[in-house]
Structure 1
């Protein structure tokens, strides 16, 4: 603060003196506010770390449950040139022979040639794709082929017919292509225009032996034969659930050797499931390390974490330990607890894996492992709900964070009030020193006047 810096009658630095007085009063109060604010900041950050490490566990458990991560299957093809495969958790392990008889393709028709600069005149094209249709009105002044193409492609009711123009040595041709494959997605065009109009070149109906436009590519369904018996069709080149839980992606009719068969091998994905269990163990151990650092106390160095003695950490730790050891209601007899899966709690409080036991369970009881984690009341749901009770919007950590945020707001308000009071103190003190300086100046003037009236010696 600085109110004027003019010369004073007393010769004192009034601003400097006032600043020192005000600062001496401000400093201890502001230091206390800053210390408390720093402590609140540290605690907010600490709860943020704790919440983040717990949420990693929660989100992982949610993924395990929703995506059936612990019931993963693999599906491999021995002929990826012909088809590839992908399995869901519902797939039944086994080998299947698949022969690709036909690939799905979209309908494409082409007109005879015409002059691209010709105005075709007014008319209407009634275009359908499968069961959907739309009418394209062509005005007289927008009847060149480029106008027709734009009117078709930009029509608000166009459900997937793409118009374009190709040119060859004979002239320009209109091409209409369906953006969907399959026999049900054929294109039809009915023309409403004068008989002599060039628009009449754009009519097409596959059921008519003679149409002005001709087929460039027929609409076809994909067709495969499974194990030499079951014929399955699809309007696209992905065939879903013909084999339970398996999607077949058809690539070609034949490979480079001329083969159209592929053997699909569906199996339990033991590697992925074992890896997911390792991720869970690592996530918990990361939480445990974080919680120990936040709540630590070293009696020798007196070093302590920001949440030393905090009840939330103790509660969460105890609840997780209990959840790890308690059996899951309704779980298979072979895997009712985490330890039966091969995941043990060490004396230090961390989790570790008995890989021999885990591998044996995955080999002998794979589906039971998935049910232990992923059932409606399974282990994943138990941990997810437990953590959410602390990290959710009404959870204990959120409540503690809200309380700390309220404290921070009060401290900020205290700082504002302190600034306001110190401004008032500065003004009052400055006024007092200024008044004193004025009085000293007046006294100095009176003394000078008296001295001038005294006779010279």
Structure 2
């Protein structure tokens, strides 16, 4: 209906009433809608700015955590002969002053043995029960002594009594030995291997079901006929500073504090020196990388909080973050026990400039690393918390505050999002009101235009009636 009115609007008066209506409506609503749109653009910029700063803060925190826990900045143990002993640091280890000599007199071994051969790995052997008994000594040498642990029975039933099925049953029992099948010129054999350690020697005895003999052929005892005995179960023997100590594994974490030892080969009489390697160059490089990454973060924050065109100039969470960043070099990162050792970044030559960026005094940094390498390392990693403590933990606290849902950037994002939704509603309502006014004015002008048209028609009639008559 309104469209048909608009199409004929002005026909009576000769005035472009459609343009007139649009001009009147725009004059009434443009200021309001433009104000809403400007506010909406500001809010959009604030939402984007908050997301940018939040992302930069969390990325920096994650980078520090990776740096602290990646192991590149930690003092590491060294071995003078890695073909005999390899050394690595245990998590959270403090290796300052590590010095020891090792002699690997014996490697830990598992017992390995193969049963007498059978013709076919898939042919049924017999049914009954196989019993594993653990102890110490050499089974093949006749010196086996049963231990105190209860023997383990492994049933062998009809339909699952082939060599393949028996190996599968032993493995499924998780009894402490691993079963496989090997073949040689004599046939197929059941091969069994224990864990390493002197108490992991074992025997395998068979109790056969009446009427289904055959399991006895798989016996592993001193008197077993046809069995092939390989290595004997034994402990590793390592002399630490001349003191012989035994362990059941070749991977040892409780002989030298903070160090995992992996024994590679036995070498009686050969002394292997343990020492440490301080990551001097990695520390220096990491401090400079840290400063560069911090300055990138600071530029993002400064850009978003700029008084002239920063979207977050009046954002309280961003202001709080700026204050925290300015105090960062003074934040205590470790508590050294040595007098004069560094406690914070400022103590190793990292200072805050007037614009909030950081810079490094190379001489002070070198002196700190040279004089207090352990203390500098502790600034990055002191072994506490999920972040490794030190600088990563300190900045994580800043990041948690900066991204908080109550006072941080997440709270700002929530506030801006609500404001954006309110502005969207206001703009929608303004547009709806605009159309209501346009419709009303269109109807009013249509009525006036109709009356003008009627007046013109009457005027034309009267003009004709009173026009002078002419005589022909």
* Residue 103 of structure 1 pairs with residue 121 of structure 2: no
Which residue in 2 is equivalent to 1:399?
A: 411
Is the CA contact (8 Å cut-off) linking 1:84 and 1:248 kept in structure 2?
yes
- Distance in 1 (CA, whole Å) between partners of 2:410 and 2:100 is 53
Give the equivalent residue in structure 1 for 2:465: none
Q: Matched residues in 1 for 2:402 and 2:227: separation?
A: 68
Q: Distance in 2 between matches of 1:76 and 1:347?
A: 44
Where does residue 197 of structure 1 map in the other structure? 213
Which of 345, 348, 364 matches 2:352?
Answer: 345
Q: Is contact 1:92–1:244 with CA below 8 Å preserved after alignment?
A: no
Q: How far off its partner does 1:110 sit? A: 0.8
Q: Distance in 2 between the 1:166 and 1:221 partners?
A: 26
Q: CA separation of 1:239/1:329 partners in 2, compared to 1, >3 Å: closer, same or farther?
A: closer
- Cα deviation 1:58-114 (Å, max 9, x = unaligned): 4455567778986x2122223222222123542233443322222223332210011
Using the alignment, how far apart are the partners of 1:295 and 1:272 within structure 2? 34
The equivalent residue for 1:359 is: 366
**Alignment gaps of 5+ in structure 1:** 299-303, 433-457
Distance 1:11 1:319, change over 3 A: closer
Q: Distance in 2 between matches of 1:177 and 1:305?
A: 70
Aligned residues: 406
Does the Cα contact within 8 Å between 1:203 and 1:212 map onto a contact in 2?
no
Distance in 2, matches of 1:186 and 1:372, equals 49
Q: Structure 1's 415 and 198: CA in aligned 2 closer, same or farther, altered over 3 A? A: farther
Tell whether the 8 Å contact from 1:109 to 1:216 is kept in structure 2 after alignment: yes
CA RMSD of aligned residues (A): 4.5
Q: 1:123 to 1:410 in 2, by over 3 A?
A: farther
Instruction: Report the alpha carbon displacement of residue 313 of structure 1 after superposing the two structures with TM.
Output: 2.6
Residues 163 and 326 (structure 1 numbering): CA distance in 2 closer, same or farther, change over 3 Å?
A: closer
Q: What displacement does 1:126 show?
A: 2.9
> Given the alignment, which residue of 183, 187, 193 partners 1:177?
193
Give 1:396 deviation, angstroms.
1.4
Deviation per CA, 1:436-455, whole angstroms, max 9, x where unpaired?
A: xxxxxxxxxxxxxxxxxxxx
Distance 2:343 2:416 in 1: 41
1:136 to 154, 160, 163: 154
* 2:82 corresponding residue in structure 1: 80
Are 2:96 and 2:374, in contact at CA under 8 Å, matched by a contact in 1?
no
Partner of 1:234: 247
Separation in structure 2 between the aligned mates of residue 160 and residue 413 of structure 1, nearest angstrom: 71
CA offsets 1:409-452 (integer angstroms, 9 cap, x no match): 55666788899x69x98xx99xx9xxxxxxxxxxxxxxxxxxxx
The TM-score, its normalising length taken from structure 2, stands at 0.70
Question: Structure 2: 5+ residue runs without aligned partners?
Answer: 9-17, 136-148, 444-472
The answer on whether the counterparts of 2:104 and 2:239 sit within 8 Å (CA) in structure 1 is yes
Do structure 1's residue 289 and structure 2's residue 299 form an aligned pair?
yes
Aligned position for 2:447: none
Which range is displaced more, 287-296 or 36-45?
A: 36-45
Quote the Cα distance in structure 2 between the aligned partners of 1:329 and 1:118: 69
**8 Å CA contact 1:92, 1:267 repeated in 2:** no
**Structure showing greater Rg:** 2
Q: For the structure 1 residues 11 and 286, does the alpha-carbon distance in structure 2 shift closer, same or farther, using more than 3 Å as the test?
A: closer
Matches within 5 A, 1:19-418: 39-59=42-62, 72-88=74-90, 89-116=93-120, 117-127=122-132, 131=149, 134-153=152-171, 155=172, 157-178=173-194, 180-194=195-209, 197-204=213-220, 208=222, 213-227=227-241, 229-253=242-266, 260-297=270-307, 304-325=309-330, 332=337, 333-334=339-340, 335-371=342-378, 381-410=393-422
Contact 2:72 2:279 in 1 (8 A): no
* 3-state SS of paired residue (2:413): helix
Aligned partners of 1:218 and 1:296: how far apart in 2? Answer: 75
